[in-house]
A and B are shown apart, each in its own frame.
Chain A
Amino acid sequence: MNITRRDFLTTAAGTAGAAATPDLPHSDEPHGHDHQVVPSDPALRTKALESLLVEKGLVDQAALDALIDTFEHKVGPRNGAKVVARAWVDPNYKARLLSDAASAIAEIGLGKSAVGDHTLVLENTPKVHNLVVCTLCSCYPWTVLGLPPVWYKSTAYRSRAVIDPRGVLREFGLQLDEDVEVRVWDSTAELRYFVLPERPAGSENLTESELAELVTRDAMVGVAKVSMPAGGTKA
């Protein structure tokens, strides 16, 4: 981000012009999403609501800062990638992950309390491809993958993932053979699903941490496969 939160708090001290600044889109990102064209209005309303709640003693500004820091820097798909890489190199770990995901995820260093006992891991194989969606809102395994990307929460993905999963996957650049079974998981309850992707061919000599580097968020949602980096097998 080109505007830090501290800048925001400093500049949004009360004037409309200053508060509008943080809504500038990121100059280095592709644009065209709804969220890129929001007027300054939400920023002003948020600032007003926050200061009102702080004055009334209902929230604490430092607590908000800490929460944002957690979700921007501490929780994210790197956690899930570690879980996947461990499962690839350790069959016993993989078996535990598939039967009791909460305990297995806790072994990676995420506390068990941070995961809850309501996570299920879906294994992709050459014959079965799993895809996760929440058609009703935005349920997502955030304790292991972080907050969901905009596309996951979009009406386009939520509507079509269940009726045309193969078309959705093609849109993500993934063409599945007709003999592959597609299983779509619509997260309607307090259970969270994430996908254990297939280990890519040619990765036999990689270490666990090198493998974790290959694992993407999209693969753990099921809209992509994990592939070896261009240039072939690492030594």
Chain B
Amino acid sequence: MNGVHDLGGMQCMGPIHHEANEPVFHSAWEGRVYAINRALGAWHKWNLDAWRYDIELLPPPDYLRMSYYEKWLAALENRAVKYGMVTKEELASGRPTPGSARATPVFTVEMAKVVEPRITARSNDPSVAPLFQVGERVRARNINPVGHTRLPRYARGKTGNVVLDHGVFLFPDTNSQFLGEKRQHVYSVRFAARELWGEAGSPKDSVYLDMWDDYLEHTGS
């Protein structure tokens, strides 16, 4: 989706505010939102790609106006309703519908003490063959999917070199909408800054993006 979340290359977003001795959470509610997000993930109603897509689906003016954890909260409320965890009425009233079933908690204190990485399902499955080779010159496809994608606009149609094969990963474009894992190789692809930005780029500099097989095409060179 060509949304406002796809920020790479925009120039109108103002200066970067660096805060000395920044706290992990600036307000108590931010920590609660973060923790609720992680805890609800234990129900496995969604995956990480679907989770990201929910944030991208926030209305563009909200996405740009809200703070980071405000976006998390808004997406969390939407998600809780979308996946049937709460009803809109319950969300509005803050109370469970009388007589509604109570879930059995799965997320225990003990589990929360362990900081586990998100399930990324990387593998080196030899049955999934790479379509591109390290050293190969490749082009990022000029595609404009209307759903979730991890191919930023600024790289589409640009040519680069495969520098690393990271192994096999789930394909976000389909996984985000529960349309299949479509496992395939992900590569680190180096794009020269001049290729991406023309004369604005330094001739020495480059940007490395992680690209799935489905995002690339052969250049024949």
Give the B-binding residues of A (Cβ under 8 A): 1, 3-5, 7-8, 12, 22-23, 25-26, 29-30, 32-36, 38, 42-43, 45-53, 55-60, 62-68, 70-72, 74-76, 113-118, 135-138, 143, 146-147, 149-151, 153-160, 162-166, 168, 171-172, 178-191, 218
Q: Report B-chain residues with C-beta under 8 Å of the C-beta of A25.
A: 26
Report how many A-B pairs have Cβ atoms within 8 Å: 310
Closest to A147 in B: B24
Is B141 in contact with chain A by the CB < 8 A criterion? no
Q: Report B-chain residues with C-beta under 8 Å of the C-beta of A118.
A: 117, 120, 122, 166
Would A23 and B27 count as touching, CB distance under 8 A? yes
Q: Do A159 and B9 contact each other (CB < 8 Å), given the known contacts A178-B204, A182-B202?
A: yes
CA A186 – CA B160 in complex, angstroms?
14
Q: Mark out the residues of chain B between 183 and 216 whose CB falls within 8 Å of any chain A CB in the assembled complex.
A: 186, 188, 190, 193, 196-197, 200-202, 204-212
B158 to chain A, nearest CB (A): 12
Is B179 in contact with chain A by the CB < 8 A criterion? no
Taking a contact as CB atoms closer than 8 A, the residue among A35, A72, A166 that contacts B68 in the complex is A35
Q: Most chain-B CB neighbours within 10 Å: which of A113, A137, A168, A181?
A: A137
CA A3 – CA B8 in complex, angstroms?
36
Q: Mark out the residues of chain B between 60 and 101 whose CB falls within 8 Å of any chain A CB in the assembled complex.
A: 64-70, 73, 76-77, 80, 85-86, 90-91, 94-96, 100
CA A171 – CA B193 in complex, angstroms?
19
Is B29 in contact with chain A by the CB < 8 A criterion? yes
Is B108 in contact with chain A by the CB < 8 A criterion? yes
A69 to chain B, nearest CB (A): 8
Return the CB mask of B139-153 against A: 1 if under 8 Å, else 0.
000000000001110
CA A65 – CA B108 in complex, angstroms?
11
Taking a contact as CB atoms closer than 8 A, the residue among B43, B67, B85 that contacts A35 in the complex is B67
Q: Report A-chain residues with C-beta under 8 Å of the C-beta of B100.
A: 56
B8 to chain A, nearest CB (A): 3
Would A56 and B17 count as touching, CB distance under 8 A? no
Is B18 in contact with chain A by the CB < 8 A criterion? yes
CA A123 – CA B40 in complex, angstroms?
37
Q: Do A182 and B205 contact each other (CB < 8 Å), given the known contacts A56-B100, A67-B35, A158-B7?
A: yes
Is B220 in contact with chain A by the CB < 8 A criterion? no
Identify 23 residue pairs between A and B in the complex whose beta-carbon atoms are under 8 Å apart, listed by A's number: A23-B27, A42-B73, A47-B29, A49-B77, A60-B39, A60-B108, A63-B35, A64-B32, A67-B39, A135-B7, A135-B154, A137-B5, A150-B22, A155-B10, A159-B8, A163-B8, A163-B201, A178-B202, A183-B205, A186-B8, A186-B209, A189-B166, A189-B210
Would B115 and A26 count as touching, CB distance under 8 A? no
Would A191 and B166 count as touching, CB distance under 8 A? yes
Would A33 and B95 count as touching, CB distance under 8 A? no
CA A52 – CA B69 in complex, angstroms?
19
Q: Report A-chain residues with C-beta under 8 Å of the C-beta of B38.
A: 67
Q: Do A114 and B8 contact each other (CB < 8 Å), given the known contacts A64-B32, A151-B19?
A: no
Q: Do A156 and B36 contact each other (CB < 8 Å), given the known contacts A117-B122, A183-B205?
A: no
Q: Do A156 and B26 contact each other (CB < 8 Å), given the known contacts A62-B109, A64-B112, A116-B120?
A: no
A110 to chain B, nearest CB (A): 9
Q: Report A-chain residues with C-beta under 8 Å of the C-beta of B166.
A: 118, 189, 191
Would B109 and A183 count as touching, CB distance under 8 A? no
Is B14 in contact with chain A by the CB < 8 A criterion? yes
Q: Do A154 and B29 contact each other (CB < 8 Å), given the known contacts A68-B34, A162-B8, A163-B8?
A: no
Q: Report B-chain residues with C-beta under 8 Å of the C-beta of A165.
A: 205
Closest to B116 in A: A113
Q: Report B-chain residues with C-beta under 8 Å of the C-beta of A33.
A: 17, 19, 67
Closest to A41 in B: B70
Would A159 and B17 count as touching, CB distance under 8 A? no
Closest to B186 in A: A189
Other A-B contacts than A8-B29, A75-B115, 6 sampled, CB-CB below 8 A, are A42-B27, A68-B25, A136-B52, A147-B24, A160-B11, A168-B16
